[in-house]
Structures are given as C-alpha cells and as structure tokens.
Structure 1
C-alpha cells in the first residue's frame, strides 16, 4: 500500500511497516470506555484552559533538538536524534547501520533508507506531523477528542479528517513546564507507536541543509527502481 500516507505517523525504520499501515477509525463509543478520559461532546465544547495553554506554549517553541526513543506496536525499540523548526520542518536521524532518516522541509516528507536504497516522498499536509509542526497547534472545532489532566501529565488526543483522515494523535505534556514529553499514533488495527523525546534544547539554530530534501535524487531513484 505505497500510497497510504498514514504510514508516516509511525516513523518506523522498517519501510514495509511504514508503507503498509492503515488509518485509524475511532468513534465516540470507543473513547468513552477509555478510563480517565473526558470526551468533548461537540465541536462547540470548550477546550480546557490547561490544554490551550499547553498547546500555545508548544506552538511558541520555534526550534528544538534532542534525542528520541520510538516504541513500535510489537515492543520493538529504536532511537536517534531529532531536529525541529517551525513551521513544518523536522528531521529524525535513526541510529543503526541503515542510515534511516525522516525529513520534512515544510512541504513534503521524505523517508530515506540508504541501506535499502529507497526514498519515499509524501505531502506534509496529509500526515499527522502537520499538527505537531504548524505555527500554532489549533484546538478549535472538533479536533480535540479528549483531554486527561493528571498531576504529572496532561494528555490531549487530536484528530483532523482534513489532514489525515480518521487518524489519531495523542500528545502528552508536562503540566508544570508545558513541555512535550511524547506522542502516540494509533493505526487502523488499534496498534500504537510511541515516540518519547528527551535531552531537548530549545531556541537552537541549524545548518541551512538540515531539512533539505533532494527532489532530483528522489525522482531519479524512483525512476530507476520502477
């Protein structure tokens, strides 16, 4: 299923997994049975002030770098370094011999696997990354599906059909500092992939080519492999 753009949500270094996942379909009934979650009943429901403050704070972080650990649906674990710059730019450099990378330049997202000699390109606007990388995280309308406020964690679950169908992204923040701790994407089979970030630095500067995508190389590679 090479055209399944929801696969980008998992950032998995396994190209077959990346390209083979479906979109999640979660209804109100399913959310109601999740312990501790308060379902926002309608598009007009008020967004909890704590959630909006957290979203505004994260939106104000214009650049960030750090390390990440990713946990796949079967417990598989990978990690590496990430670099983020608003609007729309992010880069994940995975550890390991595959030299696997995921890069967004603000318009497109490319999945690079040097070991497998593959380069797959997708529009950023059709991936869950868009919600994380917008200039402002928009909680208006019916995007907010649930909010869970605890002493040590605030969890916000979002979806936007216009961006990536029925896919869900769950973001978890420190309620005191408003810092993003992790996010989870759920696929059509209810399987989660979680990315945790740590050792982060804000307000960092990057080399001009950090988020560059070589569209010519991508086109040539995919022409040869057809």
Structure 2
C-alpha cells in the first residue's frame, strides 16, 4: 500500500482550545481573530521568541492523522533548514533546505518534494517571522501555562494552518500542529530541547537518501 507522503511533509492536530471567536475577514480571504491588548503583548513575545531561535535540536513525538505515534530527533537551523529523522524501524526522513522540503521513504523508494513556502511549517523557518501582514492569526489561546497561536498565510489560507505551542514561563517553544489542505491533522511535541548549538550543514542536504 502506498503511504500518504504529503500530510507528513506538512508535519502536523490543530490543538483543541484555540478559539476563532470574534473573527473577521482579513484581506485575500484569510480569517483573523480579534486580540485584546494583553493578547497582543503575548503575540509580540511569541514572535520575538520564535525569531530568537537560530539552531535547535530536540527529541520529538509525532501523532499522525491516523493516530500513529512515531518518535525521532529534529534539528532546526533558521532560516530555511530542518531535519526530521525518525527512529528505526521507521524508513522515513524529512529534510528542509534550499527552499524545499524533501520527504523520503527508503523502504518504498519514494521521494516527494514541495516548495517550503507551500507548507504551513515553513513559516517557522522564515528568516524574519512577522505575525502580521502576509501572516494572519486565526486563533489565540492562553491557558494552563500554554500559549497557542494559529497561523495561516494571508494570501493562501487553503494551503493549511500552523498552530505553534509555547510555554508561558518562560516563553519557549514546546511544539506545533498543522492541519493540511485536506483537513488532516498532525501534532508534534518537543522535549529534551537544546538551542544555540552548532549544527552540521550536511544534515540539511536535500538529496535523495540511499
């Protein structure tokens, strides 16, 4: 049976509790959520925190749309580079670099690639992520020590949405979720996080793995 590659490329269930209350139409069809002054203060801190990440290494747990759980190691090197290396016996590998995401299944000998700017998770890898303008905030929630902000590209909300999850004290990245263009949801939790480390650039080569 052929595996569904694209949902995994998009990496990741929209977390319950991110409201879209008081929504209004934004330019180009995206739907924004009205934010209180306190919310806007948190949004500024979230933006600063995400832009403050240069390199990151962490263990991850991924919950796929069908409920399957997989684990592995993720590396980020902003801007533009990411590697999701799944633990064995999974044959899956996802690498972002050179403006594209490449997903390989060594068991099936299949490779899929898409432009980074067509994936919701590509927002995390932007050189300067601004949570305004060409990015629309479609939901925000602050409860139980967690901050959750749902984002879409303003011009192409149909490409899918990204929900970033952070702790509030300190404000730090905890994981993210993606709902793809087909409405399928995946969730990634990060743990054992290290930031600011040197990351070998060879990890982000987007050639097909043998």
Q: What TM-score do you get using the length of structure 1 for normalisation?
A: 0.75
Q: Does 1:75 align with 2:76?
A: no
**Aligned partners of 1:63, 1:157: CA distance in 2, in Å?**
23
- 1:138, distance to aligned residue in structure 2 (A): 1.7
**Aligned partners of 1:194, 1:55: CA distance in 2, in Å?**
21
- 1:190, distance to aligned residue in structure 2 (A): 4.3
Q: What TM-score do you get using the length of structure 2 for normalisation?
A: 0.80
Between structures 1 and 2, the one with greater strand share: 2
Residue number among 175, 184, 190 corresponding to 1:197 in the alignment: 190
How is 1:84-95 mapped onto 2 (pairs within 5 angstroms)?
84-95=76-87
**Aligned partners of 1:191, 1:202: CA distance in 2, in Å?**
30
Residue number among 21, 24, 39 corresponding to 1:41 in the alignment: 24
Contact 2:55 2:198 in 1 (8 A): yes
Residue number among 93, 98, 109 corresponding to 1:101 in the alignment: 93
Q: Look up the SS of the partner of 2:202 in the other structure.
A: coil
Paired position in structure 2 for 1:21 = none
**Aligned partners of 2:18, 2:53: CA distance in 1, in Å?**
31
Q: Look up the SS of the partner of 1:79 in the other structure.
A: strand
Count of residue pairs brought into register by the alignment: 196
- Pick 1 or 2: higher relative contact order, CA cutoff 8 A, min separation 6: 2
Compute the RMSD of aligned alpha carbons. Answer: 3.0
Consecutive unaligned residues of structure 1, counting only runs of 5 or more, are 12-23, 25-33, 222-226
In structure 2, the CA distance between the partners of 1:120 and 1:153, relative to structure 1 (3 Å rule), is same
How is 1:95-174 mapped onto 2 (pairs within 5 angstroms)?
95-141=87-133, 143-162=136-155, 165-174=158-167
Contact 1:100 1:112 in 2 (8 A): yes
Runs of 4+ in 1 over 3 A off after TM superposition: 4-7, 34-47, 161-164, 187-191
Max Rg structure: 1
How is 1:215-226 mapped onto 2 (pairs within 5 angstroms)?
none
Contact 2:18 2:150 in 1 (8 A): no
Note the alpha carbon deviations across 1:155-209, whole angstroms, 9 max, x for none. Answer: 1011115456341111111111111112111245644210001101000111231
**Aligned partners of 1:178, 1:51: CA distance in 2, in Å?**
11
